[in-house]
Amino acid sequence: MILSNIHFYKTFLFNLFLVLKNPASKLKKWIFLIVMPLSATNVYSGEMPIDVSKLEHECIAITQNFSTLEDKNLDLTISEIQKEENNSRFQKNSNIAEALNLGYSKSAYWLRFELQNSSEASTQRILEISYSRLAHIHFYKPNADGIYESILTGNAFSFYSRPYPNRFFVFPIEMPAHSNQVYYLRIESPTNLLVPAKLWEAKAYQIHVRNDYLAQAWYFGMATAMVLFNLLLFLSLWDFVYLLYISFVTSAALTLASQNGLAKEFLWQNSIFWSEIDSMVGYCISLLTLLLFMRQMLNTWKIIPRIDMLIKIQIGLLLISPIGLFISFGKFIKPIILLCLITIIMVISTSVLCAIKRQRSAYYFVVAFLMLCIGGIMMIMRSFNLIASNEISTNGLQFGSALEMLLLGLALADRFNNIRKEKEKAQKEALEAQNLLLENLKSQERLLKERVEERTIALSKSNSALIAANVELEEKRIQLEQLAVTDRLTGLYNRFMLDHVLETELYRCEYHASQFALVLLDIDHFKLVNDNYGHPVGDQVLIEFARLLTKFVRYSDITGRWGGEEFLIVCRNTEIITAKNLIESLRARISEHNFPVVGNKTSSFGITEYKKGDSIMQMMSRVDKALYRAKRAGRNRIECEI
């Protein structure tokens, strides 16, 4: 039965009134004033009650107001806890950290705290236990009759057992006016007994929850983007390292979702046994894929073969460690945490060694995974109560993982650059080998000439003639190929080549879900140039116009002469809105340019984009309509046809 301070205060004031009313003895007054407050003191006077009506902040950490009692036999009930012999066993929490860390224990722990409402109205507050891995949480609160009501929830129960739908454990508290109430929490879990308890104002907590889930969405959105991006790279390059990176990012994201309670909320709400082991299994798989990715990325079997053997052993241990969690989570949890810590240290030391040996990818790898490993070490140290529990240590792995994704993006870009340089180097070496072979052949020819002079001279002349003919033939072939795809006047692609480009883009869009825009442009009143200045001047205008197109279009765009004064631009991987913005800039530059002899000239543009099932004829028909609509509308403008 709860003892409320209100009852003591009322009794104290009533007796004070009676004593003061009878002035017969001043001694009685002094004895009363000394003794009565002592008798009216709350039986839990070791605890400082928190006045919920006078909170200085929107939320406060209340762990320093906890008193704890260890229940080693797991047999104490709420009625027994309130008895005097058990009440005296509670010990005041002297730790001022935001979280009460009781470590790993098979015992249950009772936590007691007292709240006070000194205002004239009832007050609603929110109690948040922001650690999602606690298996059993019993929350006891008194009702209007002083009888305790209990709420049983935890990670070992269905998500729907929680009184407030949240990834953490949240309990609404209603405090009547002018009241003192004592609350109890019973915590039991095979995982680390970490209790980060905060008391929130109701509206402030709603804002906090919104911001919290927004931050989680930001992180997992970034992880999803990195997975999809590297999946596209893997499908394009078929490089196994990208598949390993995808596996690592995916497993790490799911592990963090399990650690943070999001997996329990959205993926396996009714799971009991799996909810207990999911995060540790996830850590083992994440570190396993991390080691595999590191070996592939840093080529450890070549650079540090002895340490690579240790890495293989560590991979094997991580592969079998989840079996122990399925057998007995309580027995294997600490050894597996130690195994994870050793793996993190191994990742950092291996990266540093490879960086010392000037392995280029190791530089990025060290910085990227150092952030991740620091976050992981912080979480493990928090589990062993070596550092304080706060926002940084709680979400350290998530912060490190986000930085790791960004830094590995630079590493992948550098990987592309290295592949390109290695290809150029291989081509250069092949050319040098070819030149060396040619020199050897010439040397052999000279030796043969010395032995059989007359025959060698004749053969040399024949070879020279043949080489000259081959060179001439090759030059002719190159010229013919160039003429076949190039407009002779402007140097741009001709219509034949443009048809080939359009066929290629249509195929790419149909089978690779790509997009491109088509631009047809025409020099306004070009016929007047030929009529007034002659065809040589008109040719110079066309040449200068082609130069402007080549200069101001993007490197990825393909430009050609369609015929006469008409030109065609293929904007690859571009939608019609983006193409219109690009072409508007081109149109302005052309209209401002001073052409030789004729001065300023303008152009009209028609734009369309690829639609599912389009043919070249259909797209050209639409873009031609757009061009002529631009001419009819006054020229020097852009029209689109969808």
255 and 266 in contact (C-beta within 8 Å)?
no
What single letter denotes the amino acid at residue 286? S
In this structure, are residues 636 and 603 in contact, taking their beta carbons and an 8 Å threshold?
yes
Terminal Cα distance for the chain, rounded? 78
CA dist 505 and 618 (Å) reads 14
* Rounded-to-integer distance, Cα 525 and Cα 531, Å: 10
Place of tokens 């006016």: 177
The distance from CA 328 to its chain's CA centroid, rounded to whole angstroms, is 33
Please, which residues bridge with residue 7 across strands?
none
Cα 635 to the center of its chain, rounded Å: 48
DSSP 42: -
Q: Label residues 384-415 b or e (16+ Cβ within 10 Å = b).
A: ebebebbeebbbbbbbbbbbbbebbbebbeeb
Query: Which pair of structure tokens corresponds to residue 534?
Result: 């002659």
Determine the length of the chain: 642
CB neighbour list of residue 32: distance below 8 Å, 6 or more residues apart: 15, 16, 19
Please give the structure tokens belonging to residue 621: 């028909």
User: Residue 346: which residues within 8 A CB-CB, separation 6 or more?
Assistant: 291, 310, 311, 314
- Measured distance CA(155)–CA(159) in Å, rounded: 8
In Å, what is the CA distance from 80 to each residue of 84, 150, 408, 441? 9, 15, 57, 102
Instruction: For residue 15, count CB atoms less than 10 angstroms from its CB and return exposed for 0-12, middle for 13-18, buried for 19 or more.
Output: middle
Side chain identity at 221, as an amino acid letter? G
Listed residue (563, 611, 609) closest to 583, CA to CA? 609
Catalytic entry in 114, 201, 505, 565: 565
Q: Which of 513, 502, 456 is nearest to 615 (CA)?
A: 502
Which tokens hold the place of 222?
Answer: 């970034």
Q: Is 565 a catalytic residue?
A: yes
Q: 78: how many CB neighbours lie within 10 A of its CB?
A: 15
Strands (E), 474-633: 516-523, 558-563, 566-572, 594-595, 599-600, 603-609
DSSP label of 174: E
Catalytic machinery residues: 565
